[in-house]
Structure 1
Amino acid sequence: MNDLVRPNIGAEFRRRRLGHFPDAPAYARYRRDYDRAMADLPAPDEVQDVPTGFGTVRVYRFGADGAGAGRPLLLLPGRTASTPMWASNLAGLTASRRAVYTADLLGEPGLSVQSKPFASSADQGVWLAELLTALGLDRTHLLGVSIGGWTAFQLARHAPEKVASLSLLDPANLFGRITWKAVAVSLGSIGPFPESWRLRLLSWISGGADLSGDEPVADLISAGMREFTSFLPPPTYFSDEQVAAVSVPTLAVIAGRSIIHNPDRAADRARRLLAQGVVELWPDASHALNGEFPERVSARVLAFIDQLDADGVPRGRS
């Protein structure tokens, strides 16, 4: 894969408070794991490096060009993850023939390259709106997992006219406050810990999954923790009034075994506040539910957005 945009490498980017790799060998190690994980995805139909005011965003398009197949769907990954985390989901999501886009988050490990520091977490909605404008996408469905779900919600607050719907898979720090367990995982992503500890933390957040074998996505996330330095403002925990003010149709799937927040309280808050919300608590799912239940996730999300494209009315259990 040839890149037109140079990655941020070296101490100068630390001084500028931009996400970066400390040196060329660190980037080479990360890129090896990234390319290996990408090999498990279908071949993208288009690859773009899209400029925004905060940096250049790596975007992939899978499936149709969207003509006559419903509004496009944009996927946003979790923290320290990137496009390869959707490996198990893309086959199902592209089956409807709508255009499916993925983006590596700015300021996170991946192939997006940050050029301007974030002044606050609100800037996450700004660059994402700029990305959709640059792609020529209007009224787009968004699917986000963990911090990707929070980022999608931030876009809906900043530019609701650009959002057709939100599908949020166990979104972080949105309907429930971050727990000490999630903080421990975050500290593990930045501390000088042995690789075995990082894998243990990833297993913990994934509901005890065995990650000791050949797991390209887990290896990539671990490499992002190890090789990349981020300068990200803490995600805002929105007030009841701020959540209720977002009127975008929203499917919120809360993982019953999540360690990110208290699942029951998060589901209750989502049901109470979302203006057009369909809220489901999946008791058997961990925070890594997109990988645990790929067919179920794809079917549920497509049913939700297909219904909206057909008549604009969100339906389902709540």
Structure 2
Amino acid sequence: MDTITPNIGAAFKAGRLGHFRDAAAYTRYRQAYDRAMAGLPAPSATLNVSTDFGTVRVYRFGPADGVPLLLLPGRAAAAPMWEANLAGLAKSRPVYAIDLIGEAGLSVQTCQLTSSEDQAAWLASLIDGLPEQALHVLGLSIGGWSALNLAVHRPAGVRSLVLLEPAATFGGITWKVVVVSLGSVLPMPKAVRRRLLSWISAGADASEDDPVAALIASGMRDFTTSLPRPTYPTDEQIAGIDLPTLVILGGRSIIHAPSKAAARARRLLRHGIVELWPEASHAINGEFPERIETTVNAFLAKVEAT
């Protein structure tokens, strides 16, 4: 359902809107996106939901009934990154997978995002545009930050949070992440970008033979973001979250110091369950899909039973 026009070309740079670098870049990305989407279950609905900051591409999966789960992807990844997780998470409830505004994907940004409050506002507007009155929110990496940021500024309509390896949330960003992020702003050989992606996943093969890896690589190469730097949440903001929250961190993550991040989350979250999986990296969703399915579904069932 392509009824919205993507931002293509440098003309969008002046307005600080996320955009594809040129028409060839969009073509490359769209080919990678469609290839990665082919690995997902067929969505029951594909929606374009309008917000004050742009139009959000939304896919709905799973049964018609139940409290939905909203999935927020990592940087440069978009909805297809949930290929390993969708079938398990959508067994017993509706699941919405989206492309983040301002990031690579089929969502289209129309207004500049200048603050964390803006980041929460567009997500809250999206939730208001969905038919259900309340839902759970699960985010990975920058999607995890987005989920917690939503709970800080616009918690209405959110039943619970699930944060997988959330970036810039419980632990500060490491210098290694800064190096990896250069892959999205500087031109570099494909082999170097592949090594950077492999570093994120603790040395796992990041070959673009894998559709999701190819999608992320294209997002880094072909799309330009103009987003504000994520605001590191204060102790008071985290302690003020009045929602059941499940945090799962990887012991081999390079995003933060995992043990310190886990300790801060345990200390501050009022209704938190914090798990540190020693063998997991930042690519935790693809490394442990069955364990994530079991852990997340058990958590959501407990939330709904209380």
TM-score w.r.t. length of structure 1: 0.95
- Report the alpha carbon displacement of residue 213 of structure 1 after superposing the two structures with TM: 5.9
What's the CA shift string for 1:56-93, capped at 9, x where partnerless? 00000001122xxx311000000111001000101111
- 2:82 maps to 86
Select which of 206, 210, 214 maps to 2:209. 214
Q: How many residue pairs align between the two structures?
A: 306
- Report the alpha carbon displacement of residue 136 of structure 1 after superposing the two structures with TM: 2.5
- 1:170 maps to 165
Alpha-carbon separation, structure 2, partners of 1:213 and 1:145: 21
Alpha-carbon separation, structure 2, partners of 1:308 and 1:53: 31
The runs of 5 or more residues in structure 2 that have no matched partner are none
- 2:27 maps to 28
The 8 Å contact of residues 251 and 279 in structure 2, kept in 1 or not, is answered as yes
SS in 1 for 2:249: strand
Alpha-carbon separation, structure 2, partners of 1:213 and 1:177: 29
Structure 2 letter corresponding to 1:94: A
What's the CA shift string for 1:241-293, capped at 9, x where partnerless? 11101111100001100000000000000000001000000000000000000
SS in 1 for 2:273: strand
Structure 1 letter corresponding to 2:156: E
- 1:315 maps to none
SS in 1 for 2:43: coil
Alpha-carbon separation, structure 1, partners of 2:201 and 2:240: 32
Alpha-carbon separation, structure 1, partners of 2:240 and 2:134: 18
Alpha-carbon separation, structure 2, partners of 1:236 and 1:156: 14
- Report the alpha carbon displacement of residue 305 of structure 1 after superposing the two structures with TM: 0.4
SS in 2 for 1:304: helix
What's the CA shift string for 1:186-220, capped at 9, x where partnerless? 11221111111111100000111012362110100
SS in 2 for 1:222: helix
Q: How does 1:221-300 map to 2 (within 5 A)?
A: 221-300=216-295
Q: How does 1:52-131 map to 2 (within 5 A)?
A: 52-66=51-65, 70-96=66-92, 98-131=93-126
Deviating runs (4+, > 6 A) in structure 1?
none
Q: How does 1:142-221 map to 2 (within 5 A)?
A: 142-212=137-207, 214-221=209-216
Alpha-carbon separation, structure 2, partners of 1:305 and 1:167: 9
Alpha-carbon separation, structure 1, partners of 2:138 and 2:233: 19
Alpha-carbon separation, structure 1, partners of 2:70 and 2:114: 25
Alpha-carbon separation, structure 2, partners of 1:133 and 1:63: 20
222-231 or 115-124: bigger deviation: 115-124
Structure 2 letter corresponding to 1:146: S
The 8 Å contact of residues 207 and 214 in structure 2, kept in 1 or not, is answered as no
Structure 2 letter corresponding to 1:34: Y
Alpha-carbon separation, structure 1, partners of 2:185 and 2:38: 27
Alpha-carbon separation, structure 2, partners of 1:55 and 1:91: 29
Alpha-carbon separation, structure 1, partners of 2:139 and 2:287: 15
The runs of 5 or more residues in structure 1 that have no matched partner are 312-318
Structure 1 residue 135 and structure 2 residue 134: aligned?
A: no
155-164 or 242-251: bigger deviation: 155-164
Alpha-carbon separation, structure 2, partners of 1:23 and 1:283: 42
TM-score w.r.t. length of structure 2: 0.98
Alpha-carbon separation, structure 1, partners of 2:98 and 2:12: 22
- Report the alpha carbon displacement of residue 122 of structure 1 after superposing the two structures with TM: 2.0
